[in-house]
A = this chain, B = another copy of it.
Amino acid sequence: MSNTFGNKLKITTFGSSHGDAIGGVIDGFPQGIEVDFEEICRELQRRKTGNFAFSSQRKESDEVTFLSGIDEGMTNGFPIAFFIKNNNYRSRDYTDIKDVFRPSHADFAYFKKYGTDDFTGGYRASGRETTSWVVAGNLAKQALAKHGIGFVSYVSQIGQECETAHYTDLNLSFTPHNALPTPNPQTADRMLKAISQAQADNDSLGGVVTCIVTGVPYGVGNPVFDKLSSRLAAAMLSIPSSKGFDYGKGFDASSMRGSEHNDLFVNDHGKLRPATNRSGGIQGGISNGEDIYFRVAFKPVSSIGKPQQTVDIHGNNRTIAIGGRHDVCIVPRVLPVVESLAALVILDLML
């Protein structure tokens, strides 16, 4: 099992919701970055709540302790180790479903691979793991901010409610403390209604995140195997529940003709650049100086309150209902995770 992410900038994570603590070690982080600890806390809060009334009732006290790598608020170029204590909860203490394979949950795959008899709770793979990603990723964002690189993301779809406008037509400086982190209030309303309805039905919803990275210089990424697009895809498909990734026009590009899709190069007052950005800021795997934008698709949360048929470890038919304890829709909470992984990838490729 690999617990390390990145090449020159490596984060190795440890721990799970079952043990004493989770955390990570970040190796290769640049020296001399002043750390805004408040921002890390805000990001963890954002990951925990999605700034969003419908999020899970679970309480996580995400107080980060840094053990090394930061001297007087400044990174020193040595490994940054951090941990976050777990409050003593077990994510599946409800013993009645201890041996039951939750529909569409990874329980079954873990059980088949590792054969553990207590396969519950997700162990290392639980959503809680992403807390460590956000700590590391926010540090990366802070380092990238010195280079003028910024990250914005929003919920562009929840269930069947989509934000159809292109990001360039949206107000991306929407307050992140919105009821739902999406720029268009009308869309937010429709999404919130869909969520209320799903909640009333003891059901869950999938969705899509759109992320935009601004200010990335030319030349990030490599032409053969270590393409920026490839690295972003790998990162995004590491997020629990993610099912797809595309960038630029993405899947829509497939139905276009070359003459429609091509970005024509122009001389923009002495600066050579593409006049349009259907490519999404990456050509041949390498950033071209334009905004990078991409989408990540998430399936609906598999744990729902509605009763479902399944089997237990012994092959007996069982009915299961996992209500009340889980998010109806995980997508709003996933925004800082998407941004964090993107930041780790981009910083890694810039080192």
Contacts and interface: CB of A to CB of B under 8 A. Distances in A.
Interface stretch (A36-44, A77-85, A145-153, A176-184): A77-85
B101 A272 contact: yes
Interface in A117-173: 122-125, 129, 157, 159-160
A287 to B, nearest CB: 7
Interface in A282-325: 282-289, 295, 297-304, 306, 308-311, 315-317
A218 B101 CA distance: 15
Interface residues of A, number: 131
B112 A219 contact: yes
How many copies of the shown chain assemble into the complex?
A: 4
Given A101-B265, A274-B104, A246 B245 contact: yes
A97 interface: no
A68 interface: yes
A267 B19 contact: no
Interface string A210-236: 000000001100111111011111111
A265 B310 CA distance: 5
A67 to B, nearest CB: 4
Given A19-B68, A103-B263, A206-B255, 12 more contacts: A4-B225, A18-B71, A25-B81, A103-B264, A108-B288, A208-B254, A229-B237, A246-B297, A251-B251, A258-B302, A258-B303, A267-B315
Interface of A: 1-5, 10, 12-16, 18-23, 25, 27, 66-69, 71, 77-81, 83, 101, 103-106, 108-110, 112-113, 122-125, 129, 157, 159-160, 198, 201, 203-208, 218-219, 222-227, 229-238, 240, 242-251, 253-267, 270, 272, 274, 278-280, 282-289, 295, 297-304, 306, 308-311, 315-317
